[in-house]
A and B are shown apart, each in its own frame.
Chain A
Amino acid sequence: DAGVTQSPTHLIKTRGQHVTLRCSPISGHKSVSWYQQVLGQGPQFIFQYYEKEERGRGNFPDRFSARQFPNYSSELNVNALLLGDSALYLCASSRQGEAKNIQYFGAGTRLSVL
């Protein structure tokens, strides 16, 4: 079975632009979470979606938004990009949306903001 897939793998944007990152979960998984990993740090939670509803939101500004589609894939949108948004963005999927469920991570999208 395919794992969590993310696209694109790399992206270069300039300040003020908008970006959309995409994630396809493992087949049968209904929960998708997004994390931001700045170089040299651990991942920081951004959003969780389960059955197309937002279940949790981390401490990120409103420039960050996400949604989950009927096929459980997900998009992360970031508006008005800042230099500080440069990071590896990780998507994780799990069967359900509970703490006991193991999250499986994709390889990430590396975003560079110039």
Chain B
Amino acid sequence: AQSVTQLGSHVSVSEGALVLLRCNYSSSVPPYLFWYVQYPNQGLQLLLKYTTGATLVKGINGFEAEFKKSETSFHLTKPSAHMSDAAEYFCAAPGDAGNMLTFGGGTRLMVKP
């Protein structure tokens, strides 16, 4: 079964700095990978989705992620952090049944002024 690991439960950056949130997957190469964002007291919102063949994926709000098979990684980046980016970010991969998702533990991004 697929598992997803997010390194760093908390990441703090200054406004305007590069954002890098790490995600590694296990097992076989997944056909799909997702990044979701969760703002306080809200549900999850899709940032971007990887599908086979496109290694660099662009999402909403200036985020992008690169699929690296050799490193089994799908890290999320943004060139310049904004205060509004402060939230919890989750990496997810398909599970064993239907369209279930297996989520990583999440990374809380804090942006300092």
Contacts and interface: CB of A to CB of B under 8 A. Distances in A.
B43 A31 contact: no
Contact of A94 (B45, B99, B105): B99
Interface string B32-73: 101010000111111001010000000000000000000000
B51 A100 contact: yes
A103 B43 contact: no
Interface in B77-99: 90, 92, 94-99
A15 interface: no
For chain B, give the interface size range. Answer: 20 to 34
A42 B98 contact: no
A42 B99 contact: no
B49 A42 contact: no
Contacts of A104: 46
Interface residues of A, number: 32
Contacts of B97: 48, 55-57
Contact of A31 (B41, B44, B45, B98): B98
B98 A90 contact: no
Contacts of B100: 33, 45, 48, 56, 58
Contact of B106 (A41, A56, A92, A99): A41
Contacts of A105: 36, 43-45
Given A41-B106, A42-B103, A42-B105, A107 B41 contact: yes
Contacts of A98: 98-99
Interface string A46-59: 00101000011110
Nearest to B41: A107
A80 to B, nearest CB: 25
Interface string B1-18: 000101001000000000
A45 B4 CA distance: 14
Interface of A: 4, 31, 33, 35, 40-45, 48, 50, 55-58, 90, 92, 94, 96-108
